[in-house]
Structures are given as structure tokens and as C-alpha cells.
Copies of this chain bind each other. A is one copy, B any other.
Amino acid sequence: MRATLIYGDHDIRLEDVPDPVLSTGGDAIVRVVAACVCGSDLWPYRGVVPTKAPKRIGHEFVGIVESVGPDVAKIKVGDFVIAPFYDCDMTCVNCLNGVSTSCLHGGWWGADDRSGAFADGGQGEFVRVPHADGSLVATPGLPADELIPGLLSLADVMGTGHHAAVSAGVTTGSTVVVVGDGAVGLCGVLAAKRLGASRIVAMSRHADRQAVAREFGATDIVEERGPEGIARIKELFDGIGPDCVLECVGTTESMDQALRSVRPGGTVGYVGVPNGGSELPIRLMFSSNVGANGGVAPVRNYIDELLPEVLSGAINPGRVFDLELPLAEVAEAYAAMDERRAIKVLLRP
């Protein structure tokens, strides 16, 4: 089959690789219907995270189940399934506690599972899913084609934006600021709206992203950053700041923006993969009772709640995909996101 590998800085290649084979009893082979490129894939693409040796990449996909191992009970051949951006069993204590990203038996796409068998990356034609009954969620019947982007967003960005909002404690009437206008930040706006926020500020400098943010429920746009951005946010909220800030980037600057914008006693929900190199400033947080909650989003735990709303059209997170390319053009997909020509690119094998 064909699958995507990263070789290094700005070097993405589609290559022939071995077809996956069932091996552990509880696994499944999924034929990928749609995959995508994540903002976090850009860290190795940009060389911020070095790539020591060529390796498979991609962690968001939806598809059709081709085959299942003898121990798979819930997932069936022919099911249309959503996979979260990691593998998990949904039976261990961490999964049951709602933190399936800390699954005791789980793992990551593009790496060996705990039995030593390979779990393919998501940007390819097929993926072996180690814990089929845990990781995969089947839709009721085959979804209409126009629903594919929304369903694919449940693999990562919509669940991650939702995690930011939940972690920040967004509830009915909350005032919210979202730092980051990538797909996750935009989904954070949608999640905050869905949870009842009364006012949502999107921090964005790009007209296309501002438009999606408005469509998702943003009531205000702030283009300033740094000290000017903080001053503008304070000004918008009684001089003290909003109840909740969603940090959806992961740099030192974005976290600083979040922590210094939120009101005393407010909460930062953060989901940006930390790449800034600095830690959380405890004295700042202590003196004003600013909390920090979040982390790598347990999106599998959120699919059951969000899926019905995607299927009914109540929410349309698939709107973050503004470019669709065949898998053969995966290198162009990375370039388009890297150069901000696209918010998020959907790939069709």
C-alpha cells in the first residue's frame, strides 16, 4: 500500500510500504476514507522537532473496516469508523476515568504497539488498529459524503477544542477568549459556544479564520498580540479579563498571553502541544488564583457526546477543512498548511 513518511525538515514522501496484517486478536485493518494533516505534524515538518530517521506520519483518519481479529466483538467488517489520534482500550482505569490518552495499554499511530506489532500512521491507505473495540467508533450506517469532514474532525481537532473548553471550565454564561486560530482554536470557539459561553473572543489576524470563528460563535475578534493583546482583552472584560482562556497553540508566547489575559480566579484550558521550552509561572498563577488545566486531549472519550451533533448537523466542525487533496499530493498538503494557505487539509487516498 501507499503511506506517508517524513524524512526531515520539509521532506514529506508518499511511498510503497508493506500492507498491514492482523496480529493480536483484538485488532482491525481499516481502509482509510479520509485523513488529514495536524498542526502538530508541522513541528517535525518545520524541523522544530528533529526527525532522526524516516518514519510514518499522520494520526487522524476515518475509514471502512476491512477485517477484524477473532477477539473483536463490537466493530464489524464494513463499519464506517472514526479513530482518535491514538490507540486505547477503553477498559482500563484511566480510560474509564475519562483520560484515554493515558490508556494503560494504548499507543500512538506510526509506532509499534505494546505487542511489538506496527500500528500504521494515519496518512496512508490502510491502518492496523491494535484495540479495535476500544479505539474505533462506528457510525450508524454509511455517512453521507458531506459529513466526512465533520466526522474526521472528531479524530482530533473538534475533540481537542472541546477539551480546551471543558478544561477551562466553560459553562452557561462564561466569558471566553481563544488564543490560536488554527483548526483546534476554531473548534475551541465552537465548543465554547456549544457549552453556553455568553461572549467569545477569537484572537486572529487572518480574515479567512476570523470568518470561520464568527460562523462558529465568536462575538469579537482581537488582532493584537502580546502586551497590546492583553490590554485589549482586559478592556473588553470589565478591566479584569474573561472567566476562561483556551490556549490552543503551545508556544511560550501563547501561554503567556493566556495566563495574563484571564481574570483573577479564572482558568486557562490548554491543549497546545508545549513546544516553547518554558514552564508555567507559579507565582503569577498563585497570586491571582489562575488555574491551568488540560493536556493531550482524550478525544475518544468525547466522540460519543459529539458524534450525534455532527450527524444531525447541529454542529459543523468540518468547516475547518478548507482544502481537499488526493493522498498523492500529501507533500503539497503540508506545504499549504505550513505557509498558512490552508487552515486544515483533508486527504483522500
Cβ contact within 8 Å between B264 and A274: no
**Listed residue (A273, A282, A293, A298) with the most chain B CB atoms within 10 angstroms of its CB:** A282
CB pair A282–B291 under 8 Å, yes or no, is no
A291 touches B292 (CB 8 A): yes
Residue of A98, A101, A265, A294 ringed by the most chain B CB atoms within 10 A:
A265
Within 8 A of B (CB), among A265-307: 265, 267, 270, 273-274, 278-283, 285-296, 298
Contacts of A286 in B (CB 8 A): 270, 273-274, 294-296
Query: Within 8 Å CB of A98, what residues of B?
Result: 265
A177 to B87, alpha carbons, bound, how many Å? 30
What are 20 A-B contacts defined by CB distance under 8 Å?
A93-B238, A93-B240, A99-B265, A102-B264, A265-B298, A270-B286, A274-B282, A278-B282, A279-B280, A280-B281, A280-B282, A280-B285, A286-B294, A286-B296, A287-B295, A288-B295, A289-B293, A290-B295, A291-B291, A291-B293
- Chain A: interface residue count, which band? 35 or more
Report the minimal beta-carbon distance from A109 to chain B, rounded to whole angstroms: 17
- Closest 3 pairs (CB-CB, A-B): A291-B293, A99-B265, A102-B264
- Once the chains are docked, how many angstroms separate the CA of A293 from the CA of B301? 23
Cβ of A97 under 8 Å from chain B? yes
Contact with B along A84-98 (1 / 0, CB 8 A): 000000000110011
Inside 8 A of A240's CB, which chain B residues have their CB? 93-94
Q: Which of A72-123 contact B (CB under 8 A)?
A: 93-94, 97-99, 101-102
Q: A167 contacts the other chain (Cβ, under 8 Å)?
A: yes
> Which residues of B have CB within 8 Å of A31?
none
Whether B289 pairs with A298 at a CB distance below 8 angstroms is: yes
> Whole-angstrom distance from the CB of A286 to the nearest CB of chain B?
4
* B residues less than 8 Å from A293 (CB atoms): 267, 289, 291-293
Which B residues are CB-close (under 8 A) to A287? 295-296
> With A97-B263, A282-B279 as given contacts, are A102 and B294 in contact (CB-CB < 8 Å)?
no
A336 to B170: give the CA distance in the assembly, Å. Answer: 46
The answer on a CB contact under 8 Å between A289 and B93 is no
Q: B167 touching A291 by the CB < 8 A rule? A: yes
User: In the bound complex, how far is the Cα of B240 from the Cα of A240, in angstroms?
Assistant: 38
Complex CA–CA separation, A274 to B240 (angstroms): 24
A289→B102 contact, CB < 8 A: yes
Known contacts A280-B282, A282-B279; A294 and B291 CB within 8 A of each other: yes
